[in-house]
Amino acid sequence: MTEFVIRPAREDDASFLAWAVIEAARSHRPRGFWDLWVPDAEARLTFVERLLVAQSVSMWHWTVFHVAEWRGVPAATLSGCDPSLIAPADVAVREGMVASGWSEAETAAAIARATPFFGCMHETPPGAWLVESVATRPEARGQGLGAALVEHVLGDGRRRGHSDAKLSLMIGNSAAQRLYERAGFAITAEKRDAALEAAIGCPGVAQMSCPL
């Protein structure tokens, strides 16, 4: 049996969490939202890490993450939060742009590159528990870490009084879909856009729901 420990994330996990946020956004494709937003790999990692330690607590802030340690190191993670208690995503991203010293031209270029994603984003209804940024290091996959983390964060949402959970799934990521379905999730909505498929090879984004 694989031995691992699930714990709340710490601020010093930020570099690992930044990798996970970027990797989760890619899903099963080579590129995702953050690759379009910040094309340079080093600058991309730095930008996302700034979101994790920002003053604005968003769904990417280190305080809403849980980490699975395997063989003594962080190997998998995800975030779980009540969207009504955190800053909207655009507030956190704007803070990241200011911290990165972006000009108006750089900001406009990033928005233009990432526009294919905007039409496929789903709203989280009031009262729902939001699960995001699920990712596991390649060498730790197949050990049950992702499933354990999902169950853990659903339990956290249940204890906080939420009646259902929501997450986003890139359409076509069958491995992730099976993982979430085993935890009780089902697809309840889809948004497709030819522009997104042209940009990253994914036809759209599904929203999955799970009763708590």
What distance lies between CA 113 and its chain's CA centroid?
Answer: 19
Domain hosting 170: range is: 4-211
Number of neighbouring beta carbons within 10 Å of residue 88: 12
Number of neighbouring beta carbons within 10 Å of residue 58: 24
71: left (phi over 0), alpha (psi -120 to 50) or beta: left
Looking at every residue in the chain, the average pLDDT score rounds to 96
> Do strands 129-136 and 73-81 pair parallel, antiparallel, or not at all (unpaired)?
antiparallel
At 140-198, the pLDDT tens digits run 999 999 999 999 999 999 999 999 999 999 999 999 999 999 999 999 999 999 999 99
Helix, strand or coil for residue 40? coil
Q: Convert 42-56 to b/e letters by CB count within 10 Å (16 or more is b).
A: eebbbbbbbbbebeb
What parts of the chain have a pLDDT lower than 50? none
Distance, in Å, from the CA atom of 163 to the CA atom of 59, rounded to the nearest integer, reads 19
Please tell me the predicted confidence (pLDDT) of residue 2.
Answer: 66
Distance, in Å, from the CA atom of 108 to the CA atom of 101, rounded to the nearest integer, reads 13
Say which CATH number the domain at 78 has.
3.40.630.30
Please tell me the predicted confidence (pLDDT) of residue 55.
Answer: 93
Distance, in Å, from the CA atom of 48 to the CA atom of 16, rounded to the nearest integer, reads 11
Quote the number of domains for the chain: 1
Query: Is 172 within 8 Å of 202 (Cβ atoms)?
Result: yes
Structure-token match 């948004």, residue found:
191
Q: Which of 196, 128, 205 is nearest to 165 (CA)?
A: 128
What distance lies between CA 82 and its chain's CA centroid?
Answer: 14
Query: Is 22 within 8 Å of 44 (Cβ atoms)?
Result: yes
Query: Is 167 within 8 Å of 208 (Cβ atoms)?
Result: yes
What distance lies between CA 147 and its chain's CA centroid?
Answer: 15
